[in-house]
Amino acid sequence: MALKNRLAAPAIALMTALLFGAAAEAAAPQQKTQAPGYYRMMLGDTEITTLSDGTFPMEAGKLLANITPKQLDAALVHSFLKDPIETSVDAFLINTGSKLVMVDTGAGVLFGPTVGKLLGNLKAAGYRPEQIDEIYITHMHGDHIGGLLVDGKIAFPNAVVRASQQEADFWLSKANMDAASKDTKDAYQAAMNMLNPYIAAGKFKPFNGDAELVPGVRALAAPGHTPGHTLYVVENKGQTLVLWGDLMHVAAVQFPNPAITIRFDSDAVTAAAQRKKAFADAAEHGNWVAAAHLPFPGIGHLRAVGSGYAFVPVNYSALR
């Protein structure tokens, strides 16, 4: 009997170790981080990369107009969301084969600790800041220009920054800043802080209205959200991608009803008209669309549904 006990003891010890080992593995600490925030797709021979700058909470109930609280709640519940909404900040990298162009630069340090991830994700995507040839700004709100500087210095040393002349005249004017309400003065100051180093270095080159900037990429004036708000159209081999900037902010609400505006619109009536026009054009022609505040990776198609639209996000692909 003693022999049997001696033989059984190692087996019991092994079983105990396995059980406790399994428990230890199950108790491993949660990582609570995402993978690097970039997504790649091809538009003909042009490479498009979405770069995530992170997310921030948006209080839609305080910011959206032309919608009742009951309508807002219903729209959010329909998309399994609630207020405040975790809102993406996306930028877009266009590699034409001869030029590397970035559209917008994220929020940098201007919108808190949950954004400012653009440079890290750019590097994770296989590119370096010094490789960027040109930066196109849709408009000069802080969450689109905040990544232009790092620690007060130019973040993209070889890049030329481009934006519409109308946008530059509005946001880079000290007279406009002095005349602005107290709660908007900071937006002017942020624009000046971010753009002035590029202006001083001779690296800011504004354009007027609709313009081809590099072969295959053109600017399309869409004022309303801001006076010089601009869309960028990328075309290659019969395919088209329209980068909307801030033409829309809350997908769950504004796709079903494009008439809903946001407090940040400088001209809400014109902004709504621009949105309706862009939505109709995207649905009619089947073009790719992308926007800074669509859930990452922020690219897809639009389909008309009744009096509104449904967004169909890009189908994930690992193919090259």
Tens of pLDDT along 1-60? 454 555 555 556 555 555 555 555 668 999 888 888 999 999 999 999 999 999 999 999
Query: Shortest CA distance to 301 belongs to which of 291, 314, 292?
Result: 314
Whether residue 82 contacts residue 141, with contact meaning beta carbons closer than 8 Å, is answered with no
Q: CA 248, CA 86: separation in Å to the nearest integer?
A: 15
Q: Chain-centre distance of CA 111, in angstroms?
A: 13
pLDDT value of residue 257: 97
Query: Shortest CA distance to 146 belongs to which of 91, 101, 88?
Result: 91
Joined tokens for residue 150: 């790092």
CA 175 to each of CA 29, 190, 193, 229, 293: distance values in angstroms, whole numbers, following the listed order? 54, 15, 16, 20, 30
Query: Shortest CA distance to 121 belongs to which of 141, 97, 102?
Result: 102
Output the pTM of the full model: 0.91
Query: Shortest CA distance to 85 belongs to which of 248, 244, 295, 259?
Result: 295
pLDDT value of residue 5: 54
Angle at 167 (CA atoms; ends 231, 273), nearest 5 degrees: 50
The sign of the CA dihedral 63, 223, 213, 314 is positive
Domains of the chain as residue ranges with CATH = 35-313 (3.60.15.10)
Q: CA 218, CA 235: separation in Å to the nearest integer?
A: 9
Mean pLDDT over residues 173-177, rounded?
Answer: 97
Whether residue 312 is predicted with pLDDT greater than 70 in this model: the reply is yes
Bridge partners (DSSP) listed for residue 302: 311
Could you read off the pLDDT of 58-89 as tens digits, one per residue? 999 999 999 999 999 999 999 999 999 999 99
Residue whose tokens read 């091809």: 42
